[in-house]
């Protein structure tokens, strides 16, 4: 019996196949009929895929059943210290460190005592042209969950 492939090993194979086949993340997400950011995160190991999604993407990327099996597994989510050295990821952490307390206060003022769900959640990325250089627009869209005492 073949041991289960780790999600990080599967992600490496997905990225290699994507490059080898000249596909974009958007093209892969379109085949999966899934949101771009969700599909990319799932293929990088942060979400479990359904059996149908895993089979479909492995067919597209010419990857075998061991990769599909890994893509169906529940992930171990958390902070990967190695990722913190990546400048793009670090900037997101930095932005939340600077603006997180203000966003928390504003959410509480607008909605009351509660949180924004990261489970009932959508995230999107877009490019916005700007004369000073294009802007990255990241949208977090989470359901408000009030604390119930």
Residue 145 contacts by C-beta under 8 Å, 6 or more apart in sequence? 114, 115, 116, 117, 120
Catalytic residue among 16, 24, 50, 117: 117
DSSP 44: T
- Residues pairing with 146 in the sheet: 114
pLDDT tens for 44-67 read: 999 999 999 999 999 999 999 999
Q: What is the pLDDT of residue 82?
A: 80
Asked whether the beta carbons of 95 and 108 are under 8 A apart, the reply is no
Q: What is the mean pLDDT of the chain?
A: 93
Does the annotation mark 117 as catalytic? Answer: yes
Asked whether the beta carbons of 85 and 51 are under 8 A apart, the reply is no
Asked whether the beta carbons of 57 and 28 are under 8 A apart, the reply is yes
Residue 130 has pLDDT above 90, yes or no: yes
Q: What is the pLDDT of residue 25?
A: 96
- Helix ranges (DSSP H) in the chain: 7-21, 25-32, 36-43, 51-61, 65-72, 87-111
Q: What is the mean pLDDT of residues 80-93?
A: 86
Catalytic residue among 16, 94, 105, 135: 94
Does the annotation mark 91 as catalytic? Answer: yes
Catalytic residue among 65, 91, 105, 135: 91
Residue 3 has pLDDT above 80, yes or no: no
Q: What is the pLDDT of residue 77?
A: 78
Residue 70 has pLDDT above 90, yes or no: yes
Q: What is the pLDDT of residue 1?
A: 62
List, in order of start, the domains of the chain with CATH numbers.
7-72 (1.10.260.40), 83-146 (3.30.1160.10)
Q: What is the pLDDT of residue 11?
A: 95
> What is d(CA 59, CA 76) in angstroms, rounded to the nearest whole number?
25
> What is d(CA 27, CA 119) in angstroms, rounded to the nearest whole number?
25
């Amino acid at each position: 019996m073949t041991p289960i492939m780790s999600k990080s090993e599967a992600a490496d194979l997905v990225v290699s196949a994507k490059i080898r086949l000249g596909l974009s993340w958007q093209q892969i997400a379109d085949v999966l009929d899934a949101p771009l950011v969700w599909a990319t995160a799932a293929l990088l190991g942060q979400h479990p895929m359904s059996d149908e999604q895993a089979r479909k993407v492995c067919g597209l990327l010419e990857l075998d059943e061991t990769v599909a099996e890994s893509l169906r597994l529940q992930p171990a989510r958390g902070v990967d210290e190695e990722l913190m050295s990546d400048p793009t990821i670090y900037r997101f952490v930095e932005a939340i460190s600077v603006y997180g307390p203000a966003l928390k206060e504003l959410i509480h003022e607008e909605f009351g005592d509660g949180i924004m769900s990261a489970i009932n959640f959508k995230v999107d990325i877009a490019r916005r042209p700007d004369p000073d250089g294009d802007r990255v627009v990241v949208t977090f869209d989470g359901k408000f969950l009030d604390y119930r005492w």
